[in-house]
């Protein structure tokens, strides 16, 4: 439904960060959709994740490093996003800046949104008309959701809420994704439970190095699916070869992001790094064993699905050493990952499964 035809408060959400951030923005979108139509701006990489989201009025793709780069692309998008003319008695159009950049604030300003809500302390905060505390002590899904309550009174009520009031992140795989996963799984009978391993991460130091050994340890009891993108193909092949596991399902080459979410939704459990697949699992309600190396769950990006477990070497004084994960261990030993062994992860797998 085009924005002009919709009724209620007109709202814009700008989220052009990573895939996981986009998933964690869906509770905010759900909340805002109760008030009126929500338009959303995301990157080309993230856009497919939001397909069929019933809370989104219109999705805009901002290819800020490509086709929409530079001032011309910025102006073109601002024109497309143009806020409706204010009408007497009507609530003002509101933009929610889910990432903290100057560019997203400037985009909302250029698009004519007089009310612009973002986090305190953001690089772009001087462009906001309302600022919401960035609660370090809350999960990022909740932090983002809190943007929907920028007024002091509403914020106070939110503080009193049970966190279970926060809508869960959601993704909406459709028929095409279900068919892709059906085709990948094939029709053969396999009595083993299906579990998933997601060995990738954009950040090298966040990739736990023992997925192949773990697959070998679990292969007799479980059928294993490997989740990831094209960049994870060789890792997936190594895992399958080293483990000698029968019937490994390799989703890295053929599945779209949303089809990967569909596959994650069908497995009993997933072992993952602190990376995008974990957030897909949160959105699909699939429990995870999440492995944290240079980052920690306290940053607010842990798993949300019930029965999930987070693992990390808590005794290491150097953890956490980076908000995302450095390209190389600054101390050279990478103990945060190397010392987290297969046995500990396999034990956590059993613990999660026994709780499901």
Question: Looking at 174, 306, 327, 330, which residue binds ligand SF4 (CB under 6 A)?
Answer: 330
Q: Are the CB atoms for 280 and 301 separated by under 8 Å?
A: no
Find the shortest distance in angstroms from Cβ 293 to ligand SF4.
5
Whichever of 203 and 222 has its CB closer to ligand SF4, that residue is 203
Find the shortest distance in angstroms from Cβ 320 to ligand SF4.
6
Applying CB under 6 A, does 318 fall inside the site for ligand SF4? yes
Applying CB under 6 A, does 331 fall inside the site for ligand SF4? yes
Strand order in the sheet with 11-14: 58-61, 38-42, 11-14, 94-97, 115-119, 130-132
Strands 249-250 and 115-119: unpaired
Residues 166-205 that bind ligand SF4 (CB under 6 A): 205
Nearest CA to 36 out of 99, 101, 94, 118 is that of: 94
Q: Which residue has the tokens 């933009």?
A: 95
Applying CB under 6 A, does 299 fall inside the site for ligand SF4? no
Find the shortest distance in angstroms from Cβ 298 to ligand SF4.
14
Q: Candidates 10-18, 182-190, 266-274, 325-333 — which segment interacts with ligand SF4 by CB under 6 A?
A: 325-333
d(CA 142, CA 162): 11
**Burial code of 20-56, b = ≥16 C-beta within 10 A, e = fewer?**
bbbbbbbbbbbbbbeebbbbbbbbebbbbbbbebebb
Question: Looking at 59, 73, 335, 353, which residue binds ligand SF4 (CB under 6 A)?
Answer: 335
* Residue 121 token pair: 């302390």
**Burial code of 206-224, b = ≥16 C-beta within 10 A, e = fewer?**
bbbebbbbbbbbbbeebbb
Whichever of 148 and 337 has its CB closer to ligand SF4, that residue is 337
Q: Are the CB atoms for 224 and 196 separated by under 8 Å?
A: yes
Question: Looking at 32, 240, 284, 329, which residue binds ligand SF4 (CB under 6 A)?
Answer: 329
* Residue 24 token pair: 């964690």
Q: Which residue has the tokens 């993952």?
A: 272
Whichever of 37 and 325 has its CB closer to ligand SF4, that residue is 325
Question: Looking at 293, 300, 302, 303, which residue binds ligand SF4 (CB under 6 A)?
Answer: 293
Q: Candidates 71-79, 113-121, 184-192, 334-342 — which segment interacts with ligand SF4 by CB under 6 A?
A: 334-342
Whichever of 23 and 329 has its CB closer to ligand SF4, that residue is 329
Applying CB under 6 A, does 311 fall inside the site for ligand SF4? no
In the chain, the N- to C-terminal Cα span, in Å, equals 40
Nearest CA to 226 out of 168, 192, 267 is that of: 267
Find the shortest distance in angstroms from Cβ 194 to ligand SF4.
31
Q: Candidates 125-133, 181-189, 247-255, 317-325 — which segment interacts with ligand SF4 by CB under 6 A?
A: 317-325
Applying CB under 6 A, does 324 fall inside the site for ligand SF4? no
x-or-dash string of contact with ligand SF4, 204-223, rule CB under 6 A: -x------------------
Nearest CA to 107 out of 118, 340, 214 is that of: 118
Find the shortest distance in angstroms from Cβ 136 to ligand SF4.
19
Interacting residues toward ligand SF4 by CB under 6 A: 205, 293-294, 316, 318-319, 321, 326, 329-331, 333-336
């Amino acid at each position: 439904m085009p924005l002009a035809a919709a009724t209620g408060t007109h709202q814009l959400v700008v989220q052009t960060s990573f895939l996981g951030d986009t998933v964690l923005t869906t509770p905010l979108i759900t909340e805002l959709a109760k008030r009126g139509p929500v338009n959303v701006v995301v990157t080309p990489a993230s856009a497919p994740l939001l397909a069929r989201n019933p809370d989104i009025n219109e999705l805009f793709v901002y290819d800020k490093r490509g086709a929409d780069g530079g001032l011309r692309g910025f102006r073109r998008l601002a024109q497309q996003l143009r806020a409706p003319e204010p009408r007497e008695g009507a609530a003002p159009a509101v933009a929610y800046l889910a990432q903290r950049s100057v560019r997203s604030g400037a985009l909302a300003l250029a698009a004519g949104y007089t009310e612009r809500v973002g986090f305190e302390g953001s690089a772009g905060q001087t462009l906001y008309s309302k600022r919401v505390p960035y609660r370090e002590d809350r999960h990022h899904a909740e932090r983002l959701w809190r943007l929907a309550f920028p007024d002091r009174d509403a914020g106070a009520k939110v503080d009193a809420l049970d966190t279970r009031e926060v809508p869960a992140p959601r993704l909406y795989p459709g028929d095409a994704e279900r068919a892709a996963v059906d085709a990948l799984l094939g029709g053969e009978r396999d009595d083993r439970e299906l579990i998933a391993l997601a060995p990738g991460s954009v950040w090298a130091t966040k990739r736990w190095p023992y997925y192949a050994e773990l697959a070998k340890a679990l292969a007799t009891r479980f059928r294993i699916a490997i989740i990831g993108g094209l960049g994870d193909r060789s890792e997936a092949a190594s895992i399958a070869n080293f483990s000698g596991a029968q019937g490994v399902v390799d989703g890295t080459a053929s599945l779209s992001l949303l089809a990967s979410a569909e596959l994650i939704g069908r497995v009993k459990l997933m072992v993952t790094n602190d990376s995008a697949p974990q957030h897909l699992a949160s959105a699909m309600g699939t429990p995870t064993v999440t492995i944290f190396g240079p980052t920690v769950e306290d940053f607010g990006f842990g798993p949300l699905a019930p029965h999930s477990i987070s693992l990390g070497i808590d005794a290491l004084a150097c953890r956490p050493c980076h908000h995302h994960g450095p390209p190389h261990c600054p101390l050279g030993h990478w103990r945060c990952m190397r010392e987290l062994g297969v046995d500990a992860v396999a034990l956590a797998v059993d613990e999660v499964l026994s709780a499901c």
